[in-house]
Amino acid sequence: MAALAATPATGQARPTAAAAPKRQPTLPPLSQPAPPMRQLDLEIPPGPAPLMRGMQPEADPRRSGAANYGAPVKPQKLPKPYPPRRIGLPKPFGPQNPLPPLEPYKTSAIAKRALKLRPTTQPPLPAPPPPVTVAVEPTIKVRPRPKMEEKPYDPVGVGIGSLRLFPYVETSGGYDDNPNRLAPQFNPRPSKLFRAEGGFTLQSQWGRHSLVADMRGGYSEYFDYPLASRPDAVGSLTGRYELTRDTSLDLKGSLSLDTIRPGAPALFSGVQTVQVVNRPIVFGVSAAPGVTHRFNRLEVSLRGTLERVMYDNTRYSNGDVLDLARTSYDGYGGGGRVSYEVSPDLKPFVDGAYSWRVHDQPTDFNGFYRDSNGFLLRGGAAFNVTELVKGEVSGGYAERHYADWRLPPLRGPVIDASLIYTPSALTTLTLRGSTTLNETTLANASGVLTQSVSLQLSHDLLRNLNVSLLASYYNNNYQGADVVERGGSIGVKLDYKITRSISLRGSYMHELLDSSFPNADYTANVYLVGLRFQL
């Protein structure tokens, strides 16, 4: 129930202000006087009244607890923030602020001793220096110098898809004092010559597989001795196709085109007055497909060999023709290699092969059966010594047996080597040695065991001027006929590169041969000067 209170005038009870309904006050019209205000009867509940705005607590007797309906108190303003702290200039160097310690040179004894005694853990980084507010003079940015190319005169090649082709053409002219390499008894006559040569190198740019091909061919024209004019060519091909991470298919091929000199023992007519008037051509091509599998560091390779060698007929000064083409033959065979990688710089191996040779005709023009079979077994290692000496050296034994019982076996040691020594970035020394078992048509001779070695020293006098010294030696042993030939050559070559595409070349070569066969010795000197164009 609502609380009731009695009024002093009437004594009647009326509802208190807590129960009275709220009414909006109405203003009297301006023309009428305002009615007198009535005194409100309010009942204040017991207990301390809440503090209102502007009131003080009861502990402060200086102020009353009545409500303050005067002017509002203005809020106090917050103090202004302190300005940022000024950082002065760096302290001048002195006893309290000494200079940083000197750092020894990297090549000094103190630096080397400190390098040996440096701690294994990384020391903490020093605290960053305090910021400097002084003005800094702007520095001028200097463009770095472009890096100098190592070989600025090497060809850049022509892109063919993912292959890179490096073609070239070379022309030269000169003088040869013995074009046909005849013995002094036959009065060789000199001749001026013109030589044209062309070729290319093809390299793949694949990620997994590889293909490298090298081919060159040329022709030498002798103006004063046309019968001595001859072609020559040589080429090689090496390819690899990765079947899996450890298995690959390999392919090696070669091509050669050469001529036989008229004074060779195999072309001797038997009459001193009858001479060979042409240079018979010998053309050969071979292919060796194979597969290689790697068992961790152990590598096993199997390969087959296919070979075709063709000969041209020989013409004599009396009009006779020597049927040399019947000695053309086909070769078949197979072999394998097992190698083990001891370290990235040493890889020993064992190599073996077996082959057959079948001629187009059962007998040659002397009546000998030339079909044969033989084997080759050798061992060696491929190595790389401190990036200065690298290559491959092997040695072994080879032997061939012929269908004709009158021909003794062709046998002998086999030594092969390929070494590259680079004492400096400007000098390169290349040593190559090989042993081959070749066919012959000399009567009573089963074959020719040829051992050869070549040496080339190349030095760059300037970035575009190279000089090379060349020397070679070979030994031909006609087993069964007791004929031995020893020959060699020595010379010098100059290569001046005008641009990447044009270079000027000059060379001199001296050749000689000492043979136990009668009237087979010769000496020759060749001078050449020419231009080379390459891309």
Q: What is the pLDDT of residues 422-471, one digit of tens each?
A: 998 899 999 999 999 999 989 889 999 999 999 999 999 998 999 999 99
Distant-in-sequence, close-in-space partners of 237: CB < 8 Å, separation ≥ 6: 211, 212, 213, 214, 251, 252, 253, 254
In our burial notation (b when 16+ CB lie closer than 10 A, e otherwise), range 393-407 reads ebebebebebbbeeb
pTM reported for the whole predicted model: 0.70
Most confident of 118-122, 139-143, 205-209, 414-418: 414-418
Closest CA to 445 of 396, 374, 372: 372
Question: For position 20, what pLDDT does the model report?
Answer: 45
Closest CA to 299 of 239, 349, 242, 241: 349
Between the CA of residue 394 and those of 117, 257, 304, 403, what are the distances in Å?
47, 27, 20, 30
Identify the residue with better confidence: 473 or 188.
Answer: 473
Distant-in-sequence, close-in-space partners of 68: CB < 8 Å, separation ≥ 6: 52, 53, 54, 55
DSSP 294-342: EETTEEEEEEEEEEEEEE--EEBTTS-EE--GGG-EEEEEEEEEEEE-S
Identify the residue with better confidence: 533 or 22.
Answer: 533
Residue 57 confidence class, pLDDT cut points 50, 70, 90: low
